[in-house]
Chains A and B, each alone.
Chain A
């Protein structure tokens, strides 16, 4: 397929695609059939007088399903030209979607369970043209999907592929645009370990034990109330586990790519220029293990399917080395010479080392443990904030990504000449916060930040 050709051919997706999307319907039909003929034994279904009936129902249903599947497949077509991706679906209610290739932000490869069993994959295009829905192309063979992804990303970067890239022949060597190098891999054992040491998991475990004890003792009333809570916890547990299972982070030429998933393998590209803020945190029980978690604010990766602002996890658990590597990709220029030392100071330091300003003694009454830790540092490129004594947290916000600054002073703060300044960025919940700093320092920072925002 020549990519310059505006009349590129329409192609069809893999013939098994309707099955991947509709296998549940087949299961449903079989279930209904079995439900309605429950009184019959297996032998009876195929006995003399019932055989034609069973065959007729079975055959008819199979035919209908196959026909629907065939039509669904027949009417699903896609086309990739030099400028656009088109996806047409639907027989009666037709939908024609298109996306401009130069607006494609990232392409995710997703593999639901059945698709994975069949070696198929879905391409999800995240397009920055204001449309909230994600363009999906499902399903292709895994290799084809990966190749198509590379090809479209090549086009999106405004380069022409050096070799004629064919979608049909997998053998053709593809110029590796996304020269990927795996940075971090999270082993399942570490993920589970890190998970069990999080406050949420501990509360959940206590809840489960309470529930068990109460049930054994025979107090049923409590169990009824705890059960929904436990279900909710289970959902959270699964979501967290799924979001970190087999987690890998790799370097691409535009930034970082993360892949994860227990039943669904999801991939997500994080272009460096769309990263708005970074948060590195360490729940208090992780302390002795030297583990950290990283999440970022990023614009338009379509990580939330509803298009909402959601924070993206770029490292569910990892050591300082992994953190430093990912930081090196996402925020290569901290604006200081000794980046690693500053990073370590932000993660583990306290007091006024390496340009940090912490809360004054007056804040001690409000934060008896954290007051020497909570603070901030301003480098030429980035605002760094640091929080917490037992559970640590540090945020990094590049000055160019700051959307607004707020200053806040409650009555108690006023009596102790303290104030809190917050620095807002887009694309997630990571917030740069200068907690309980001296009000003169806060005023000075507020002014300086306004100055930096205008310079950019």
Chain B
């Protein structure tokens, strides 16, 4: 049972593309590393046949599993602006939800990696005095991110004392 009705703002559809590309890059890299025993074997090193195959196969298996879960994982990410606080949620298997009151915000960070920038996305990080009470909003369109930051900062200042 979730603490709240499900009216969270979902991530931008382009964020799934960003995550898919980043999945492809990481998986390729890991696969290349996993292929090293097989390559060495081809070059004549005494590596048993099962070891040459198992490692790359395992990597491919896990990568495919991740790909299948990716869509649902991204769909599980969301945020919700409420009157007094901001809610974020994430996680498919282990579900997480976090509330950060506007009055406790210290500063709001707007971040974007090269891939996110390419797709016109950004992420917002809300920081409080407690390092564990940090909320991250992922996959927001850049313009919406700017506007959201303004709103959050204004809400925070209105409630600061």
Question: Residues of A with Cβ closer than 8 Å to B?
Answer: 299, 309, 402-411, 414, 417, 419, 422, 424-427, 431, 439-440, 442-443, 446-447, 449-451, 453-454, 456
Question: Residues of B with Cβ closer than 8 Å to A?
Answer: 1-4, 82-85, 93-101, 103-104, 128-135
Q: A404-B104, A425-B130, A447-B3 are in contact. Are A411 and B94 (CB under 8 A)?
A: yes
For A406, the closest partner residue in chain B by CB is B98
Interchain CB contact under 8 A, A453 and B129: no
Interchain CB contact under 8 A, A404 and B3: no
Interchain CB contact under 8 A, B3 and A427: no
Looking at B83, B104, B130, B132, the one whose CB has the most chain A CB atoms below 10 A away is: B130
Given contacts A404-B98, A440-B1, A447-B3, 20 further A-B contacts (CB under 8 A): A309-B131, A402-B104, A403-B104, A404-B134, A406-B97, A406-B132, A409-B94, A410-B94, A417-B1, A424-B128, A424-B133, A426-B129, A427-B129, A447-B4, A450-B84, A450-B99, A450-B101, A451-B84, A453-B85, A454-B83
Interchain CB contact under 8 A, B3 and A442: yes
Interchain CB contact under 8 A, B103 and A454: yes
Interchain CB contact under 8 A, B129 and A454: no
Residues of B with C-beta under 8 A to A309 = 131
A424 and B96 CA atoms in complex are apart in Å by 14
Interchain CB contact under 8 A, B93 and A403: no
Q: What would 28 A/B residue contacts be, using CB atoms closer than 8 Å? A: A403-B100, A403-B104, A403-B128, A404-B98, A404-B100, A404-B128, A404-B132, A406-B96, A406-B97, A406-B132, A407-B97, A407-B98, A408-B96, A417-B1, A419-B1, A426-B129, A427-B129, A427-B130, A443-B1, A443-B2, A446-B4, A446-B99, A449-B99, A450-B85, A453-B101, A454-B83, A454-B84, A454-B85
Q: A403-B104, A411-B94 are in contact. Are A446 and B129 (CB under 8 A)?
A: no
- Least CB distance from B107 to A in Å reads 13
Residues of B with C-beta under 8 A to A453 = 84-85, 99, 101, 103-104
A407 and B3 CA atoms in complex are apart in Å by 8
Residues of A with C-beta under 8 A to B133 = 403-406, 424
A92 and B57 CA atoms in complex are apart in Å by 66
A451 and B84 CA atoms in complex are apart in Å by 8
A411 and B3 CA atoms in complex are apart in Å by 16
Q: A403-B128, A431-B132 are in contact. Are A439 and B1 (CB under 8 A)?
A: yes
Interchain CB contact under 8 A, B99 and A405: yes
A449 and B3 CA atoms in complex are apart in Å by 12
A96 and B153 CA atoms in complex are apart in Å by 36
Closest 8 CB pairs of A and B: A404-B133, A454-B84, A426-B129, A403-B130, A424-B133, A443-B3, A403-B133, A453-B101
Q: A403-B128, A426-B130, A427-B129 are in contact. Are A446 and B97 (CB under 8 A)?
A: yes
For A454, the closest partner residue in chain B by CB is B84
- Least CB distance from B86 to A in Å reads 10
A253 and B106 CA atoms in complex are apart in Å by 30
A447 and B97 CA atoms in complex are apart in Å by 12
For B84, the closest partner residue in chain A by CB is A454
Residues of B with C-beta under 8 A to A406 = 96-99, 132-133
Residues of A with C-beta under 8 A to B131 = 309
- Least CB distance from A274 to B in Å reads 11
- Least CB distance from A119 to B in Å reads 40
- Least CB distance from A123 to B in Å reads 27
Interchain CB contact under 8 A, B132 and A424: yes
For A405, the closest partner residue in chain B by CB is B99
- Least CB distance from B29 to A in Å reads 29
For B92, the closest partner residue in chain A by CB is A411
Interchain CB contact under 8 A, B103 and A456: yes
Residues of B with C-beta under 8 A to A404 = 98-101, 104, 128, 130, 132-135
Interchain CB contact under 8 A, A411 and B84: no
Residues of A with C-beta under 8 A to B85 = 450, 453-454
For B102, the closest partner residue in chain A by CB is A454
A446 and B3 CA atoms in complex are apart in Å by 7
Contact of B129 among A403, A419, A442 (CB under 8 A): A403
For B133, the closest partner residue in chain A by CB is A404
For A309, the closest partner residue in chain B by CB is B131
- Least CB distance from A432 to B in Å reads 11
Residues of A with C-beta under 8 A to B104 = 402-404, 453
A427 and B130 CA atoms in complex are apart in Å by 7
Looking at A403, A408, A449, the one whose CB has the most chain B CB atoms below 10 A away is: A403
Residues of B with C-beta under 8 A to A414 = 95
Interchain CB contact under 8 A, A299 and B129: yes
Residues of B with C-beta under 8 A to A407 = 3, 96-98
Residues of A with C-beta under 8 A to B130 = 403-404, 424-427
Q: A424-B130, A454-B83, A454-B85 are in contact. Are A410 and B100 (CB under 8 A)?
A: no
- Least CB distance from A258 to B in Å reads 23
Residues of B with C-beta under 8 A to A449 = 99
